[in-house]
Structure 1
Amino acid sequence: MSPHPQDAVDASGRRIGVIAVIERHGRLLVIRRAAGVRKEGKVCFPGGGLRIGERESDGVVREVAEELGASVAPLRRLERSRSPWGTSLSWWHCRLVGSPCFRLDPREIGELFWETADRLAEHPDLLESNHEFLARLVRGVHSL
């Protein structure tokens, strides 16, 4: 999630990020961050910063389109959390629309792959902000 001059902030002045949780056939769509970006090489869900005046559901659609070249339909917000570095995160369950032909933005995305929640929770390169959400998903707090 690279800073953008139009990033939205919450009431406490913290950036707001939207995260797309996309499941297909029991696996989650995840990315590896590209070289040269913050937290490069880390594995995480796609997403990014919400823009000023943008609804969360619109922001998650925009971020997936920008990063992956795919269309999603936001189904519902699963939860809100805070990253270890202070960003307010809004986790959205999304469905891919149509037959995706992914076009990754190489400035942001190094790799895209599908993984089960259990295996992803144990991934050695998992981004710190994803651990707690995945733990709740594995425990059944959220259903996809």
Structure 2
Amino acid sequence: MNTTPRNPPPSAPRRRGVVGVLIHESRWLVIRRSRHVAAPRKLCFPGGGIEHGESEAEALVRELQEELGVRAEAQRQLWRSQTARGVDLAWWHARLLDPISAMAPNPAEVEEAFWMPPTEIRHLPELLDSNIEFLDAWTAGEFQLPDL
């Protein structure tokens, strides 16, 4: 007996996220996630989920405002990946429109934010796997960052 329905239900839409790569004086912005979010206290680049009807660039600008209290501009998409949990990630280069001193991490989402050279970020033990993959792809030359 065949148990496959004739009209199977549509699969759930894939979850999508956006990640911001912000660079200042050869240092990249890294955040420590708060205790109150998924992957608590892990290190990563800022970003989050893309809401229905929102573009990747719009989501990135919104996430940077929510997480860090700063206005930013999405510059260009750098890379794409998929997490082990099936989330499709779009990695974007962005720039702050506000001074760095205006950055005020939202404690509900971000415990701390700091700037580091990318070569040091790669070896942080608390770094999310997706961020390691991104840094490895960059090191392998899969994409280029703009001249800064």
Shorter-chain-normalised TM-score: which range? 0.7 to 0.9
Structure 1 residues without counterparts, runs of 5 or longer = 1-10
Per the alignment, in what secondary structure is the counterpart of residue 85 of structure 1? coil
Judge conservation of contact 1:33–1:111 (CA < 8 Å) in 2.
yes
1:37 partner amino acid:
V
SS at match of 2:65: helix
What does 1:51-130 align with in structure 2 at a 5 Å threshold?
51-100=51-100, 101-130=102-131
* Structure 1 letter corresponding to 2:60: V
| Matched residue SS, 2:133 | helix
Amino acid at match of 1:118: T
Match of 1:43 in 2: 43
| Structure 2: runs of 5+ lacking an equivalent | 1-10
Q: Distance in 2 between matches of 1:63 and 1:12?
A: 24
Match of 2:7 in 1: none
What TM-score does the superposition give when structure 1 sets the normalisation length? 0.88
Residues 50, 56 of structure 1: 8 Å contact kept: yes
Sequence identity percentage: 40
Assess if the C-alpha contact under 8 Å between 2:18 and 2:89 holds in 1: yes
User: After the TM superposition, which parts of structure 1 deviate over 6 Å for at least 4 consecutive aligned residues?
Assistant: none
Return the alpha-carbon distance in structure 2 between the equivalents of residues 44 and 86 of structure 1.
18
Deviation, 1:91, is 0.4
Distance 1:74 1:56 in 2: 9
Structure number with greater Rg is: 2
- The SS at the match of 2:61 is helix
